């Protein structure tokens, strides 16, 4: 198992090599388990009693609303792992919460993250932070190794009611499920995956919620080539390009400034149901 202690060596020997060969890397101990569990507890309370002062879904770009979620996205070990993939100048574009309630039929179809954003080149890296233990029975992700070596493929928008994606997007090709790799993680561990990697996840058949935070990172030279303008926060290093509207980290939880920042970042994408490309 990869640990925080061997992260520095893994930068040069393992993380990048495995990521670029297979399209993913996991598991990596990144956030203290207690921190992850505490965040999961807070998120379950939000699911039970959602904020009422928002115009847009609170789980999308949640880092703009909650300082404790933002703190997870810039946790040093998480950024160290991302730096091994995309370099030291890192923009954090979005942090989206994926909560599968107990005994839920919600699932995520096979898709590529590159389908959602008009980014070029295709260098977006997603760090999926497990805030609860995730495994096949509660709907962990499944990765298709090597699928990132192909170009972006056409997606069908199904708008399926039991899909956890905004428009029920799925890849318009057949997937050999026998080749899929289950992404089993303990709370506080992360997986990294390439934006062209085909991945999916099943329903939660257990009596506890499955909770994860998907954080999207891009190197500063990436630019947006289609869709309404997008925003990002400089998570590490410097940005000499200025390709994205600059977000600022929140200083509290659901305060007036945070709500206004969230509305400003989300409003241009509401018409597309927050599918941005």
In a domain, 126, yes or no: yes
In a domain, 91, yes or no: yes
In a domain, 48, yes or no: yes
Range of the domain at 138: 4-272
pLDDT tens profile 30-47:
999 999 999 999 999 999
**pTM (two decimals):** 0.90
Residue 84: pLDDT above 60?
A: yes
Residue 4: pLDDT above 60?
A: no
pLDDT tens profile 171-184:
656 778 899 999 99
In a domain, 23, yes or no: yes
pLDDT of the residue at 3: 43
In a domain, 258, yes or no: yes
Residue 221: pLDDT above 80?
A: yes
What pLDDT band is residue 272 in, cutting at 50, 70 and 90? confident
Query: Backbone phi, then psi, for 11, in 5-degree steps?
Result: -55, -50
In a domain, 277, yes or no: no
- CATH code of the domain covering residue 154: 2.60.120.620
pLDDT of the residue at 93: 96
- What is the average pLDDT across 252-266? 96
Q: How many domains does the chain have?
A: 1
Q: Which residues pair with 24 in a beta bridge?
A: 193
Q: Which letter, b or e, does each residue of 116-132 get, where b requires 16 or more Cβ atoms within 10 Å of its Cβ?
A: bbebeebbbbbbbbbbb
Mean pLDDT of the chain: 89
């Amino acid at each position: 198992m990869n640990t925080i202690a061997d992260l520095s060596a893994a930068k040069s020997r393992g993380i990048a090599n495995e990521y670029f060969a297979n399209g993913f890397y996991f598991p990596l101990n990144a956030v203290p388990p207690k921190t992850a569990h505490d965040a999961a507890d807070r998120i379950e309370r939000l699911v039970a009693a959602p904020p009422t002062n928002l115009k847009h879904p609170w789980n999308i770009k949640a880092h703009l609303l909650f300082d404790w979620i933002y703190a997870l996205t810039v946790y040093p070990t998480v950024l160290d792992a991302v730096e091994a993939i995309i370099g030291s100048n890192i923009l954090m574009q979005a942090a989206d919460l994926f909560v599968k309630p107990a005994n839920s039929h919600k699932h995520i179809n096979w898709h590529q993250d590159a389908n959602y954003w008009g980014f070029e080149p295709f260098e977006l890296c997603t760090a999926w932070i497990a805030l609860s233990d995730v495994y096949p029975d509660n709907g962990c992700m499944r990765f298709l190794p090597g699928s990132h070596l192909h170009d972006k493929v056409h997606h069908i928008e199904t708008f399926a009611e039991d899909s956890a994606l905004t428009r029920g997007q799925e890849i318009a090709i057949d997937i050999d499920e026998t080749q899929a790799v289950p992404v089993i993680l303990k709370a506080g561990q992360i997986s990294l995956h390439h934006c062209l990697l085909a991945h999916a996840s099943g329903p939660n058949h257990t009596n506890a919620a499955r909770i994860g935070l998907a954080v999207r990172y891009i190197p500063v030279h990436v630019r947006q080539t289609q869709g309404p303008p997008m925003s990002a926060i400089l998570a590490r290093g410097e940005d000499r390009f200025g390709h994205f509207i600059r977000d600022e980290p929140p200083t509290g939880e659901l305060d007036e400034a945070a709500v206004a920042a969230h509305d400003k970042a989300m409003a241009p994408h509401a018409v597309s149901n927050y599918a941005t490309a």
